[in-house]
Structure formats: structure tokens, C-alpha cells
Structure 1
Amino acid sequence: MNILCVGAGLSGAVIGRHLAEAGHAITVVDSRGHVGGNCHTQRDADTGVMVHVYGPHIFHTDDAEVWDYVNRFAAFLPYKNRVKATTGGAVYSLPVNLHTINQFFGKTLRPDEAHAFITGEQADTSIEDPQTFEEQAMRFVGKDLYEAFFKGYTMKQWGCHPSALPASILKRLPVRFNYDDNYFFHRFQGMPEQGYTAMIEAILDHPGIAVRLNTVFERAQAEAYDHVFYSGPLDGWFDFELGRLGYRTLDFERFTYDGDYQGCAVMNYGEVEVPYTRITEHKHFAPWEEHAGSVCYREFSRAAEPEDIPYYPIRQVAEKALLSDYVARAEQAQGVSFVGRLGTYRYLDMDVTIREALDAARAFAAHAQDGTKPPAFFTAPL
């Protein structure tokens, strides 16, 4: 079959590769001048630092097949994400752990003592069924830790008070009663030695795949193909006829520094008075390299406008209602499947994106073999 993948990020690349290996003819188009989507990395010409152009991406997963898959196309080196936070004139370790608790409260608690202190004295146990982000945080860590590490950061990140956000955003409150400061808990964690763009270029390097960059997709182009995998914004496929789904976007204030600016890859700023959410120092994402200079980003979060890059789907009540209408339309569309973060209007980690892309490609191949119609969504957006 003659198949078009719209978007040269992880979804389009993985689906395209799998189906090319199954003998299909694949065309991948992207409006940008590079592959990799928001995972795009490139080496800074002045400092030699590998820069995560659209913000840092750290690979972590418990999915052994996905881990084997990415290692097939890139050499992954060990990387542990150890986040720091500046609040109240001091620097702390995140996620909240035993060191954070002892430092913040000026104590020397053992794990069981800290657990009793947080769950007994700090947590608001009167909140039995947390409905909002604020209630979730207050229920599990209490007012002091919530206000120091979660409240201001969340207000900046989402542009509203945490009492207006659902508790689901804070699904698993990251609190540890030991000194483990590894931000993630997955078995497999690392970074591609030569960056994500090189990895995705390798995935797309197949004789059955044609890649066309700087190419803006228009829906009329779909008629030239047997099927389209669309990883662009779901509402964009329908020319935003019902309205636009809401996103948060990021502005980056890039600056360089002669030396080591902050001594870590990620420094969060929990106070709402500081306008940015965090500073990332990109040479620390490749600790096996040494660079005299440094490239840093200050990150500012705001509501996405039509011309902005959409980062985080909001998925509040109004957005879910509009999403439901677009899903209904999508399910009536012919010859297209919607995939990825934008195509399904869901926040996805990289490993989940790859897992869903592999599953979608395999399911599509089975439909192609049987002559049956593939679904609009291989993973339900709602």
C-alpha cells in the first residue's frame, strides 16, 4: 500500500519504519526543516553542547520491548534525572524525599519517623476524597510542602489556581521516605549518545521511506494515498471547524554561560513571583561529555495561540466536550488514523508514544492483510 505519515516525530517514524519493513511504500512529511518533532536535538556550534531545542526529553520506561527498540537505532548511555528546586531562598532535592523533608523542616527524621510526621502532622486527613490538584497535595503532603514546591509552580505551568485543576494531574504524588533523588522510577533510563534527532533519522533510514521536510500537509493530499497516519493536531485535520482544542505552550529564553551555570540539568522555581517555571542546563543532559561553555533555557508557560507550538493538552471539561465532538467526526472519516500526542489530544511520554505507534502499525498491517478497515484511533482519546 501507498501510505502517508504526517509528522516526522516518534509516531510517524516508528509507524513508517514498521510498515516499510512490511513492504509498504511510505512517505513521511513534516512542516519543519528537521525530523524528530519536539524531540529534536542539535549541537550548539559555539559550545558543542547537545541542545534539546524544544525543551528537554529524558527517556525512561519499564517497557523492555520499547527499550530494545530505541537501542536498535541509537546507543543509549545511562542518565538519571535529578531535579533541584529553589524556593524560600534555599535549594532542595526533588521529588520530595527524606533529604527534602529533613532539610525543609530542620529535622533529622528516620524514614518511619518522616512518614509518621508527614501523614500524621502535615497531611490534611480531613480531605477524604480529593477532587482537585490542591486537595490532592494537601491530603498527602500538607500545606507547607504544597505551597513551597507545588502551588506556585503549578499556577505558572497551567495558568490557573491548583484548586481549578483536577486531582488526576497529580496522580502519583512524588514523595519518598528515603534518600532516593532519582526523579523517575522506571527500570530503563538513559539518553541517546548522539541525540534524539540522530536516532529518529536512523529509524527513517529505510529504502521504503521517502522523507519530505518543509512540507505543509493539506488534507487534499490524502487522496493520493491508500491510508494516512496523522500525528498533527486532531482539530487541525478538520480545519478547526468546531473550535480549537486548548493547549499550553512554552517560551524559551536561551542564554549561554562561560562555565557551569547551576550544576544540574533542571532547577525548578516554586515561587509564583519568579516568572519562569525552571531553568534547564543542557550540557548536564549528557554527563559523559565535557564542555567549557554552557547553554541554558528559562522556560515560561502560557496559553497557546493558533501560531504557537502546542505542548500540553489542557483536557478540562470544555476541552473534553469539544474533543468528544472531534472524535465523533474522526470516526466517520475515511482513510485516516489519528496517532500520537496531538492526534489523540493526550500528554504522552516518549516510551508510550513508541509503544502506541508499534501497536498501531501492527494492527494496521493485520487490517491490510485481511482487507478490513483500520480504525480512526488505535488508542481511544477519551
Structure 2
Amino acid sequence: MKVLIVGAGFSGAVIARELVEAGYRVTVIDRRPHLAGNCHTERDVDTGVMVHVYGPHIFHTDDEEVWAYVNRFSSFQPYVNRVKTTVGGRVYSLPINLHTINQFFGTTLRPDEAREFIESQAVTGNANPRTFEEQGLRFVGPRLYKAFFHGYTKKQWGCHPSELPASILKRLPVRFNYNDNYFFHRFQGMPEQGYTALVAGILDHPNIEVRLNTSFQRAMAADYDHVFYSGPLDGYFDYSEGRLGYRTLDFERFTYDGDYQGCAVMNYGDESVPYTRITEHKHFSPWEQHRGSVCYREYSRACGPDDIPYYPIRLVDEKAMLARYVDKAKGARGVTFVGRLGTYRYLDMDVTIREALDTARGFLDARRGDQPIPAFFNEPM
């Protein structure tokens, strides 16, 4: 059986590896000149800094099998993501924690006192917040919401927070201790030689053929028994129902002789600052020492036809369009849609790998049982 995998990011690489270890031969194509998709990393020639070319990625998970899987192909170094934000001319820690609260309000509250204080600040009239803004006001009250969420969210999503669902904010924590680790997962780290080397390790098998600089054309499917497609779902159908909405990112790259900001990520919550954050890439590899520095100012905007899609919008209009594409996909034959773009969902790396493992295993089980291969092993809706 000849299998084609479209996309050499984590989804495609993991599925390819699982299939060849089960005895298949697989071809992996990618339109870009490099592996790892948006996780691509490369050494800056002048500074030696490992640069996250499409923006930073920090690996974090509670999935023990996924953690063991990535460590099989790369050595990982410990890394804790400690995000800072500049608001009103002052620097604070994120996520909002006891230090943030005491610094912002000029207090010395203990955890139980801080909990009571934040509850007293909350706008409690709405028992079931439906929008991001309503949730934020209920969550932390007007002052913290305005400082840390309102402006940043408008810049990130290009609309007023009252137009966004409350679910976006429900996953952001507030901590009543001094823990400023942005994530709370058991396993956190960075691949020592970067993500591209990690993906290359996954794809390093004699039964995997990789073709870069190769765009997928739907006519290619005729040469294969099955296709795993991790490109844009709407793109597979030539955007016949319209283009699904995404936000994209523009990066203003600059270098600095020394340490520019003293941390990997500095957010900017004020609306008057046009960019959302500055990332300083040498701080993503704290086990290395570099005098020079590579930084990105990050700007968010609506994604155009020629832009790289980053964040699916998934508001009402997009969900209606998505439903039509899902119907088309389920009517197609010989193709399974996978990954962030193929299922039009925002996925962390660990979830992407988990779903790729489960998809490959589901495919193999279906083949052994002579069952049909579904268009989606993970439903987009």
C-alpha cells in the first residue's frame, strides 16, 4: 500500500514513523524548503542563537507517552516559561499570580486575603459569562482585566473582546501563590538541538522518502492508496466554500549586542503599542551562552491568501463554513485530514503528537480489520 503524507510537521512526521515501523513505505512532501512546519528552528549565522523562525514553541505536557516519544528522538533540556508583561510603564509577571496582584495594587496580601480581594473586585452580576470581556470582568475585575487582558486581546484577535467567546479566557489561570511558571504540566523542556533536528530524527528511516519544496496537488492522490493531509482543510477543496478565518503573525526581526530584555517573552498589554510581544530567542536556550541576541517584535493581523495561517478564529461564520467543509471531507475517499490546519483547531505540540499517534494506530487497526478509513480520527466540530 502506497501512502502519501502532506506536511512535514509533527503530524506528518509522527504518522509516517508509526506506519513505517509497521512495515509500510511512506512518502512525505512539504511545500517549504525545511522540515518541522511552524516549529522550524535554525542557528543564526552571526550570533549562533537558535532561532524559532515562526515564533517560539515551548514543549509542555502531562502525557507520559508523548514525553517519552520526543525524548526518543532528541535530548531535552529543562525549560520553564516565565512570561513578563509591560503595562502602563511597569513590568509584571504572567500569568497573574500573588506577586502580580500585590505589585499592581501596592499590597502585601497573603493567598487567602488575595483570593477574597480579587473576588471583591469581580463584576458578579452575570452568572453565565458568554463573552471574553464578561468572563474577564467576572474573573479578575475591571482594573486587572483592563491592564492585562483587554488591550492585548484586541491586538491579538483584531476585534473587541466582547465579540470573542468566554472559552478563550477560561483556560488562563490566576494563581494565589508566587508560582510564575506559565504552564502547569509535569514535563516541560526544549529539544537541545532545536525542533527541526527533532522532526528530522522522527523522519530518519529508510522507508520514509521526504520531498521538500513540493506542493500538493489533488491529482497526486491518484498515485497513492491513501493520503494523510495536514494542510489547510479549505485549501484541499480549492476554497470552494470560502476561506476559513485565521490570524497570522508578522515578525520584525532585530539583533542586539548584549541582553535586550532579560527574558524570553515580554508581552505589551497597552493598546498604544502596536505589537503584542517581543521574544528574545537566546533565552529559549538558557544552557547556551551568546553575547549577541536575536529578537522578534510580533504583530498580529488578519490572514490573507498568501500568508501563513497561525490561529483559527472559529467564530460563528467560520464554524458554519467549517461544517460545510467537514461534509465535503467525509464525502471524499482515500484521504484523512490531520493536525492543526487539517482539522481547523488550535493544537499544542503535545496534543498534535498524541493525535498523530492515535491516528496512525487507528489507521493500522482499520487496515487489519478491513474497515473503512475515516476522513477524521479527531472531529473538527
Task: Report TM bin, short chain.
Answer: over 0.9
2:6 alignment counterpart:
6
Q: CA deviation at 1:172?
A: 2.4
**1: CA distance, partners of 2:275 / 2:123:** 29
**2: CA distance, partners of 1:211 / 1:370:** 29
2:219 alignment counterpart:
220
**1: CA distance, partners of 2:163 / 2:203:** 42
- Please give the per-residue CA displacement for 1:130-164, whole angstroms capped at 9, x wherever unaligned: 00000111001000000000000000000000000
- Please give the per-residue CA displacement for 1:199-229, whole angstroms capped at 9, x wherever unaligned: 0000000011000000011000011001000
- Please give the per-residue CA displacement for 1:205-261, whole angstroms capped at 9, x wherever unaligned: 001100000001100001100100000000000000111000000000000000000
Alignment of 1:64-213 (within 5 A): 64-119=64-119, 121-213=120-212
**1: CA distance, partners of 2:116 / 2:249:** 39
> Does structure 2 retain, via aligned residues, the 8 Å contact 1:5–1:230?
yes
Q: Which amino acid aligns with 1:274?
A: V
1:32 alignment counterpart:
32
Q: Which amino acid aligns with 2:174?
A: V
Structure 1 portions without partners, runs of 5+: none
Q: CA deviation at 1:367?
A: 1.1
Q: CA deviation at 1:174?
A: 1.5
Q: CA deviation at 1:321?
A: 0.1
Q: Which amino acid aligns with 2:285?
A: A
Q: What SS does the aligned partner of 1:346 have?
A: coil
**2: CA distance, partners of 1:173 / 1:365:** 37
Q: Which amino acid aligns with 2:99?
A: H
1:271 alignment counterpart:
270
1:257 alignment counterpart:
256
**2: CA distance, partners of 1:171 / 1:378:** 26
1:16 alignment counterpart:
16
**2: CA distance, partners of 1:97 / 1:3:** 49
Q: What SS does the aligned partner of 2:210 have?
A: strand
**1: CA distance, partners of 2:275 / 2:168:** 20
> Does structure 2 retain, via aligned residues, the 8 Å contact 1:137–1:173?
no
- Please give the per-residue CA displacement for 1:161-204, whole angstroms capped at 9, x wherever unaligned: 00000001112232100000000000000000000000000000
Identical amino acids, percent of aligned pairs: 74
Q: What SS does the aligned partner of 2:128 have?
A: coil
Runs of 4+ in 1 over 4 A off after TM superposition: none
- Please give the per-residue CA displacement for 1:313-361, whole angstroms capped at 9, x wherever unaligned: 0000000000000000100100000000000000000000000000000
**2: CA distance, partners of 1:344 / 1:242:** 16
TM-score normalized with structure 1 length: 0.99
- Please give the per-residue CA displacement for 1:57-82, whole angstroms capped at 9, x wherever unaligned: 00000000000000000001100000
Q: Which amino acid aligns with 2:51?
A: V
Please state if 1:365 is matched with 2:333: no
**2: CA distance, partners of 1:65 / 1:351:** 10
**2: CA distance, partners of 1:189 / 1:284:** 15
1:50 alignment counterpart:
50
**1: CA distance, partners of 2:366 / 2:231:** 23
TM-score normalized with structure 2 length: 1.00
Alignment of 1:321-336 (within 5 A): 321-336=320-335
1:282 alignment counterpart:
281
Q: Which amino acid aligns with 2:67?
A: W
**2: CA distance, partners of 1:43 / 1:171:** 37
Q: What SS does the aligned partner of 1:302 have?
A: strand
**1: CA distance, partners of 2:179 / 2:331:** 49
Structure 2 portions without partners, runs of 5+: none
Q: CA deviation at 1:372?
A: 1.5
Q: What SS does the aligned partner of 2:109 have?
A: coil
**2: CA distance, partners of 1:293 / 1:173:** 33
Q: Which amino acid aligns with 2:15?
A: I
**1: CA distance, partners of 2:177 / 2:334:** 52
